[in-house]
Chains A and B, each alone.
Chain A
Amino acid sequence: MPKQFIVIIALSICLFSCVKETDFNQADAIVLTHEVEANFIYFTLQIDDFEAPTVPTGSLTVIDTTEIRFLDDDFAVDNIVSAEFFFRVSNTFPVGLDANFTFLSEENEPFYEINFPIEISEDGTPVITEFSQLISGEDLDLLTLNDKVVATLVINTTDETLEGELNLQSKTTYFLEYSEL
């Protein structure tokens, strides 16, 4: 009898303890959805930074390049579902400018670009231009082929004595979905 009592308790623990009203297959539906705000590039330009055009009909231009190594990483390729670039430009030049950001692959092949005009300052006070571009779908596939970006600013003048200053600030909002836990 006493041995049976212990055995009954032990068996009861084994038999009546269970995990129910649960469905672990739901784990397949778990998706981490991040929204990451991150600074992108920034710079300030005076007229001295611009270079003379290589053709007589051209305009003053500045170009610079930087790597963005993470953009073509497997993690980014697999998990970024959309990205929004936001640019804010403060301009005191009395002429308009064009901004171009060309994204290049490791082999320096351009797969994606962002262009926008920068407004003129009529009276030398800062004029703010804001521009944003949401990238998703096939465009995003193209964006994530790249690991560097070339920034080109063209000022619509050849006057190398022009007064003024341009300040560009930018950020990217990455929308990520991560389901491979």
Chain B
Amino acid sequence: MKLFSLVVFLCIGFTGLSQNKQLLYGVSDIPQSLMLNPGGIVQYDKHYGIPFLSQIHFNGGASGVTVYDIFQSPNTTDINNRITDAIFNQKNTDFFTVTQQLELINIGWRNSKEYYFSGGIYQEFDMITYFPRDLAILGWEGNGNYIDYEFDLGDLNTSGDLLTVYHFGANKKVSDKLTLGARIKIYSSIFNFTSTNNKGTFVTRVGDGSQNIYDHLLQDADVQLKTSGIAPFIDDENGAPGMGGHIMSRALFGGNLGVGFDIGGTYEVSQNWVVSASLLDVGAIFHTNEVENYRAHGSYNLTGLNLIFPSLEDGEAALPYYQNLEDEITESVPVDTLYNKYTVIRPMKVNAGLMYHFGRAFGNKECDCLDMGQGDFGNQAVGLQFYSIFRPKKPQYAATLFYYRRFTNFLAGKITYTADSFSVDNVGLMAVGDFGKLNVYIGVDNLLRYGNLAKANHVSLQLGFNLKYL
């Protein structure tokens, strides 16, 4: 039961719209903002991310339930009733998601032709599991009270990736107003699992009287789980010697590879108004090695054990009805292990922003302050941001209002208010400091819930350290 608690806590406790980094987007003080918009404004000439510390990002969420919903205390109601409520209150489009990113290397420099190049390596884990409502009801309550109800096997929908991303991008201010950028990415998948587009129903109906009391009907089932890089873990439950090396090898182009790109741009409409947009992870990973797929498909009507009372000689064994039934089911709904290669489209993301600058400018001629990031713009800005990520069932969206302020030449902050699939009151806060060449940032989401994470649908944390050279 403790294990169950841990799983629930991990799934729904620390789990927004994964990968939405509304705090980081458009904050040109931070080199990692180029990862969200390769066409962002760059006002430094060189940067080095502190290896393994330049971006640590964790983001997780559950759109339909919180830890508090299940484990609330004082517990005035039975926990089993709360779980029942949680199951029935969620839709099959609610989801659990976890994203974690760790930047290993990130560097950038401006060349003599005013191109700003940047590149690096980061590791990412990204998983989404839609709430399998019908299967949860079947598992939680059984079929007894659901005669004639068609349980949808299509509710089973999950995918996850652990991968390393190698990237290189270029950014250039092509005119006084327009900055464009693009980034090429090579994905090295460590493992992937995908179970989407499942079909079929299971229903128990009262029979027509010709056979038995019920017809337990599995109708047009087609359930698939595609995996790559996972088989070695399953084959050796104790962990094969050198498994660490195996993972490392797959991270270093030894696994399944993919390609993709990011593009983006920023247009300075006026001294005050700036619009920007980007398209990230337009690409795919081609899973060709260590692939193991499982597919169960077919239809079957389980009517029970049909006795035929054969005449048997003394000592003759009875007919193997049960074995025959199992064989019939296996034949009607075979579970195949396949080794077909497959392609997974990366979850493409769209960012867009509209920003209005105002206030006292830092770094312009009217001020002797050092130019620290926002150049000739005012020290404050408000704006709107839009984010979308393409997920297996449908795209998810988030809209953000923000206020940015540069307090001093070395300290800035951004506060965001985001409405997304998880909540409509996600307040986030980010602080960015430039201490000499050291650039430090930290941002957290869901501040209104930070006092009690158990009540949060979503928590996100990102922090990092860079060296910046103006």
User: CB within 8 Å of B: which residues of A?
Assistant: 2-3, 5-6, 9-10, 13, 16-24, 26-43, 45, 49, 51, 62-69, 86, 88, 151, 169-171, 173-174, 176, 179-181
Q: Is the CB of B213 within 8 A of A88?
A: yes
Distance in angstroms from B398 CB to nearest chain A CB is 22
A21 touches B212 (CB 8 A): no
Task: Report the minimal beta-carbon distance from A102 to chain B, rounded to whole angstroms.
Answer: 13
Contact with A along B277-321 (1 / 0, CB 8 A): 000000000000000000000000011111111110000001111
Give Cα A168 to B272, complex, Å.
84
In-complex Cβ contact of B442 among A10, A63, A66 (8 A):
A10
Q: Which single residue of chain B is at the shortest CB-CB distance from A26?
A: B79
B188 to chain A, nearest CB (A): 32
Q: Which of B1-9, B47-55, B120-128, B345-353 touches A?
A: B1-9
Docked complex: B123-144 residues within 8 A CB-CB of A? 139-144
User: What's the dominant secondary structure at chain B's contact region?
Assistant: mixed
Give the residue of A33, A42, A181 whose beta carbon is less than 8 angstroms from that of B3.
A181
Mark interface residues in B1-32 (1 if CB within 8 Å of A CB, else 0): 11111001100010000000000000000000
Q: A33-B80, A42-B211, A42-B307 are in contact. Are A181 and B1 (CB under 8 A)?
A: yes
* Residue from B322, B450, B451 in contact with A67 in the complex, judged by beta carbons closer than 8 Å: B322
Residue of B with least CB distance to A181:
B4
- Nearest to A61 among chain B residues (CB) is B309
Q: A51 to B1, Cβ gap below 8 A?
A: no
**Contact yes or no, B141 A41, CB < 8 A:** no
Apart from A17-B451, A35-B144, A64-B318, what are 8 other A-B pairs with CB-CB below 8 Å? A2-B408, A6-B433, A29-B78, A42-B303, A43-B306, A62-B309, A170-B213, A171-B213
Query: Is B431 interfacial (CB 8 A cutoff)?
Result: yes
Contact partner, A36, options B9, B143, B303, B307, Cβ 8 Å? B143
Assess whether A171 is in contact with B442, with CB atoms less than 8 Å apart.
no
Chain B residues near A68 (CB, 8 Å)? 305, 322
B83 at the interface (CB under 8 A from A): yes
In the complex, A31 Cα to B4 Cα: how many Å? Answer: 12
For the complex, give the distance between the alpha carbons of A94 and B408 in Å.
Answer: 102
Question: Is the C-beta of B444 less than 8 angstroms from some C-beta in chain A?
Answer: yes
**Quick check: is B109 within 8 A (CB to CB) of the other chain?**
no
Instruction: Return the 10 tightest CB-CB contacts between A and B, nearest first.
Output: A35-B144, A39-B304, A34-B142, A23-B73, A67-B322, A181-B4, A65-B318, A66-B321, A27-B5, A42-B212
With beta carbons under 8 angstroms apart, the residue of B147, B429, B435, B450 that contacts A16 is B450
Is the C-beta of B173 less than 8 angstroms from some C-beta in chain A?
no
Enumerate chain A residues within 8 angstroms of B322, measured Cβ to Cβ.
Answer: 66-69
Residues of B within 8 A of A22 (CB): 67-68, 71-73, 454
Does B411 reach chain A (CB closer than 8 Å)? yes
Query: Once the chains are docked, how many angstroms separate the CA of A151 from the CA of B75?
Result: 50
Give A29 to B247 CA distance when docked, in angstroms.
39
Contact of A170 among B145, B304, B319, B453 (CB under 8 A): B304
- Is the C-beta of B261 less than 8 angstroms from some C-beta in chain A? no
- Chain A nearest CB from B57 CB (Å) reads 14
Contact B452 A64 (CB under 8 A): no
Question: How many residues on the B side are at the interface (Cβ–Cβ under 8 A)?
Answer: 69
Q: A6, A39, A176 — which one has the most chain B CB atoms within 10 A of its CB?
A: A39
CA distance A64 to B411 in the complex (A): 85
Closest to A35 in B: B144
CB–CB B73/A39 < 8 A: no
A85 CB, min distance to chain B CBs, angstroms:
11
Q: Please, how many angstroms separate the alpha-carbon atoms of A117 and B45 in the complex?
A: 94
Asked if residues A16 and B1 are in contact (CB atoms below 8 Å), the reply is: no
Q: A68–B325 Cα gap in the complex (Å)? A: 11
Whole-angstrom distance from the CB of B60 to the nearest CB of chain A?
14
Over the window 428-446 of chain B, the binary record of Cβ atoms lying under 8 Å from chain A Cβ atoms (1 yes, 0 no) is 0101010100001010100
User: Would you call B79 and A30 a contact (CB within 8 A)?
Assistant: yes
Look across to chain A and name the residue whose beta carbon is closest to the beta carbon of B318: A65
Q: Of B144, B207, B302, B311, which contacts A34 at CB under 8 A?
A: B144
Q: Which residues of B from 205 to 243 have beta carbons under 8 Å from A?
A: 207, 209, 211-214, 216
Give complex CA distance A51, B211 in Å: 24
CA distance A179 to B139 in the complex (A): 13
Interchain CB contact under 8 A, B143 and A37: yes
B323 contacts the other chain (Cβ, under 8 Å)? yes
Contacts A19-B67, A35-B141, A35-B144 given; indicate if A171 touches B214 (C-beta within 8 A). Answer: yes
Q: How far is the CA of A40 from the CA of B307 in the complex (A)?
A: 11
Please name the residue on chain B nearest to A17 by beta carbon. Answer: B450
> Does B140 lie within 8 Å of A32, measured CB to CB?
yes
Give CA–CA (A180, B147) in the complex, Å. 27
Cβ contact within 8 Å between B304 and A42: yes
A24 touches B5 (CB 8 A): yes
Give the distance in Å from the alpha carbon of A9 to the alpha carbon of B139 in the complex: 44
Residue from A24, A34, A170 within 8 A of B71 (CB atoms): A24
Contacts of B442 in A (CB 8 A): 6, 9-10, 13
Closest residue of chain B to A69 (Cβ to Cβ) is B322
List 20 contacting pairs A-B, 8 Å CB cutoff, sorted by A: A2-B411, A2-B435, A6-B431, A6-B442, A17-B444, A20-B451, A21-B72, A24-B5, A27-B2, A30-B83, A34-B142, A35-B141, A39-B214, A39-B303, A43-B306, A43-B309, A64-B318, A66-B319, A68-B305, A181-B1
